[in-house]
Amino acid sequence: VTTTSNIDSVKRKTAFSTLLTVLSAMISRPSGLLGLTLVAFHVLLAIVSPAITPHDFKDVNAQIILNAPSYEHWFGTDSLGRDVLTRTMLGGRQALLVTTIATILAITWGGLLGVLLGLVGGRLDEFLMRIVDAFLCLPWILVLLLIVVMVGSDPGVLIATLGFFYGIPVIRVARAATHDVVAQDFVTAARARGESRSTIVWRELVPNVLDVLLVEGAMRWSWMLLAFSSLSFL
């Protein structure tokens, strides 16, 4: 006889175990280990950059405009005589900070909404997914550029804008992953026990789709870096 407790213990995951599984899978492959090392190096460089840069990124010197790389200025100077290496390192720090927070925001709201839609289904699910499809048709970089021009390039504005637009495709990914999990026996057992939807979402669904969301988050993070750099250039 199969009891609900036996069913419940078959495939339940925790968020921590899912994270360990993803990290171990990355480290076990040379390409994954190399990528993780490069990301860790850039993150560390962004953190310590203010302490290791000898120049202030605002310093202007008309006597060294557009100088070639030298011992004092490794990357040379720009049209205002500012140290390019210092500005590159500090600019990378801001880019990493903005895109990391925006990625967490996108995965959080997009993932939770996708999980809820995958669990509830019905007309509400279909209606909201049509709205998602409409947003996916928009030329995002142009919309982002328009918002930045109208509102400004404040880090808070960039985080909110990137987090919103890049969270939309996460909804579809989380919804599809949830459909596969909802059909499992341990979710049926949770419903049979009379657990609330919030309990099912946090205890049964989120841990089992977290691996998909982590992979999606890594991709969204890289695309956000590209979008942030594009907005800065434009």
Distance of CA 46 to the CA centre of its chain: 17
CB atoms near residue 198 (< 10 Å):
9
Q: How far apart are CA 112 and CA 130, in angstroms?
A: 18
Q: How far apart are CA 107 and CA 42, in angstroms?
A: 22
Q: How many residues are given for the chain? A: 234
pLDDT for 182-222, tens place per residue?
A: 888 888 888 888 888 888 888 889 888 988 998 899 889 98
pLDDT for 91-134, tens place per residue?
A: 788 888 899 999 999 999 999 999 999 998 889 889 999 999 99
Q: How far apart are CA 7 and CA 2, in angstroms?
A: 7
Expressed in percent and rounded to 5, the helix, strand and coil fractions of the chain are 75, 0, 25
What confidence category does residue 229 fall into, taking pLDDT thresholds of 50, 70 and 90? confident
pLDDT at position 14, please? 64
Contact 228, 162 (CB under 8 A): yes
Amino acid at 54: P
What confidence category does residue 159 fall into, taking pLDDT thresholds of 50, 70 and 90? very high
Q: How far apart are CA 106 and CA 52, in angstroms?
A: 32
Q: What is the mean pLDDT of residues 77-89?
A: 86
What confidence category does residue 74 fall into, taking pLDDT thresholds of 50, 70 and 90? confident
Q: How far apart are CA 125 and CA 127, in angstroms?
A: 6
What confidence category does residue 155 fall into, taking pLDDT thresholds of 50, 70 and 90? confident
* pLDDT over 80 (residue 165): yes
Pick the CATH number of 4-52+91-233 from 1.10.3720.10, 1.10.3330.10, 3.40.50.970, 1.10.760.10: 1.10.3720.10
Distance of CA 73 to the CA centre of its chain: 34
Predicted structure pTM score = 0.79
pLDDT at position 1, please? 43
Ordered by start, the domain boundaries in the chain are 4-52+91-233, 55-82
Structure tokens at 98: 């903005």
pLDDT at position 8, please? 46
pLDDT at position 10, please? 46
